Amino acid sequence: MWITGTGALSCAGRNPGELWESLLAEKSGLIEGLGRVADLSPDAPADLALSMALETARQAMGQAGWSHLNEDDGIIIATTTGQILMWDQALLHFFKDQADPESFRRAFAHQPLGQLLNTLTESLGSRTPHRWLLTSACTASTQALIMGALWIRQKKVKRCLVGSVEVLCDLTVQGFRSLQLLSNETARPFDRDRKGINLSEGAAFVCLEGQNPGPRALAEVRGWGLTTDAFSMTSPEAEGRGSYRAMKQALETAKLAPNEIDWIHAHGTGSMHNDAAEGQAVRALFGAKSPPLTSTKAIHGHLLAASGLLETVIGVEALKRQTVLGTANVQNIDETTGANVLVKSEPRPLRHIMKNTLGFGGANAALVLSRVGDRA
């Protein structure tokens, strides 16, 4: 499977190039621990989720040279918030007897997360019936990319537009705060002085094709793994066994040995439980000589469902530029995690990289991305 187009919109940049420059310069887009996307086009739809998704989808499709989605193309979107900004305030007004039932009904029609998928597909001018919407928390967009690859392999669709979008809203901001996971300071993944995670909004899209697209190819999706902890609703299994199995599956489907992975882009949220479990999973799979591992969430924050795909776009840029990124804002590496944390960005030959993701509900997913032309 080949990635032929990417799009990214976050507090750290309006496209993959801007995001990459922010990452290299360690210029965080977070303000007081939250990452907001500002300055959308004046003619963008009022619906922030739809607006961000449309802009980012068009970036990816433009780069891939896709003018439209055909009826035998697929589209997969991942989100946990969807169009919540279109209905959450209406619900609150309704509770306070400040909204009439009809206006509330109209607003509340946006509540099913899948509604975003239909609106986006139609806004892209497509009538494809091949539409999936995944909601598996922070793992959703990595799952979406994997499912897109499998969908194409099974010849159910010819190409697939895979995207993800998240908005900041009361539900997630106050919800994560209630779990005491949020930090008002910029996150410090894998740092022993970590304070918590930073939520952010944004979108990421990739165009996925099954037949070798020649010079249009940006990277190859070569391996994948999907597993579940069955342990806790909100914490990963303490030793990271589920994450270990996902990364192991990804190596097996890629037909690669652990020592052939040149870089790991970690989930690295900066929560104590995530860092510990992910570090142990990496150590168990790759051993003492594990490849360097990086979290970039101090720059763009945690985009929840969109994080895996945004970080996949970063991985594509890293392969293209043959450069690994450092873990911004880390000062005192937490050695107890066992991870080989990379602090500073540097040029480095990259053939194969691992993107790892963990999520609430115990969902794990891992990807192996390869440089174009590196299939043995």
Partner 1 sequence: MSTAIFGAHVVSGPPAPEWLAKPEYRRATINMVLGAQLLEPLLRDLRAAHPEVLSEDIGLVLQSQTGELEATVEFLRGWSQMGIARPLLFQSSLHNATAGFLAIQYAIKGPVISTSPSFFSEEQALEMAQVLLDEKQCRFCLVVSLDAWPAIKGLEGGSGFSASYASAVVLAREPGGLGRRLNSIEMKPEARPVFTEPQWSHRPSSRNALFNLASALLSSETQKVETQKEEGRSVITWSGA
Q: Does 362 bind partner 1 (CB under 8 A)?
A: yes
CA count, 13 A, side-chain hemisphere, 272: 7
Cβ 356 vs Cβ 246: under 8 Å: yes
Q: Does 360 bind partner 1 (CB under 8 A)?
A: yes
The number of angstroms, rounded, from the C-alpha of 171 to the middle of its chain's C-alpha atoms is: 20
Please say whether the dihedral angle defined by the alpha carbons of residues 135, 32, 275 and 296, taken in this order, is positive or negative.
positive
DSSP three-state, residue 225: strand
Closest to partner 1 by CB, 36 vs 108, is 108
Query: To the nearest whole angstrom, how small is the minimum distance from the Cβ of residue 330 to partner 1?
Result: 28
Q: Which of 47, 55, 88, 166 touches partner 1 (CB under 8 A)?
A: 88
Closest to partner 1 by CB, 243 vs 345, is 243
Query: To the nearest whole angstrom, how small is the minimum distance from the Cβ of residue 141 to partner 1?
Result: 12
Q: Does 45 bind partner 1 (CB under 8 A)?
A: no
Q: Which of 24, 34, 179, 333 touches partner 1 (CB under 8 A)?
A: 179
Amino acid making up residue 111: Q
Q: Does 114 bind partner 1 (CB under 8 A)?
A: yes
Q: Does 156 bind partner 1 (CB under 8 A)?
A: yes
Query: To the nearest whole angstrom, how small is the minimum distance from the Cβ of residue 104 to partner 1?
Result: 7
The one segment of 8-16, 158-166, 232-240, 367-375 that binds partner 1 by CB under 8 A: 232-240
Q: What whole-number distance in Å separates Cα of residue 366 and Cα of residue 143?
A: 8
The residues, ordered by sequence, that sit 6+ positions from 206 with a Cβ below 8 Å of its Cβ are 3, 5, 6, 7, 60, 145, 161, 162, 163, 309, 312, 313, 316
Closest to partner 1 by CB, 118 vs 322, is 118
The one segment of 113-121, 206-214, 325-333, 336-344 that binds partner 1 by CB under 8 A: 113-121
Closest to partner 1 by CB, 104 vs 333, is 104
Structure tokens, 272: 């104590």
Closest to partner 1 by CB, 148 vs 292, is 148
Q: Which of 183, 178, 219 is nearest to 200 (CA)?
A: 183
Amino acid making up residue 27: K
Closest to partner 1 by CB, 93 vs 351, is 93
Triad 269, 271, 277: Cα angle to 5°: 85
Q: Does 303 bind partner 1 (CB under 8 A)?
A: no
Q: Which of 194, 185, 192 is nearest to 332 (CA)?
A: 192
Query: To the nearest whole angstrom, how small is the minimum distance from the Cβ of residue 171 to partner 1?
Result: 6
Per-residue binder mask for partner 1 (CB under 8 A), 118-147, x = binder: xx--x----xxxxxxxxxxx--x--x---x
**Alpha helix (H) residue ranges in the chain:** 16-24, 48-64, 88-95, 101-108, 114-123, 140-153, 170-178, 241-254, 272-286, 297-300, 307-321
Binding site for partner 1 (CB under 8 A): 71, 80, 82, 88, 91-92, 94-97, 101, 104-106, 108-109, 111-115, 117-119, 122, 127-137, 140, 143, 147, 150-151, 153-154, 156, 170-171, 174-179, 226-234, 242, 245, 359-363
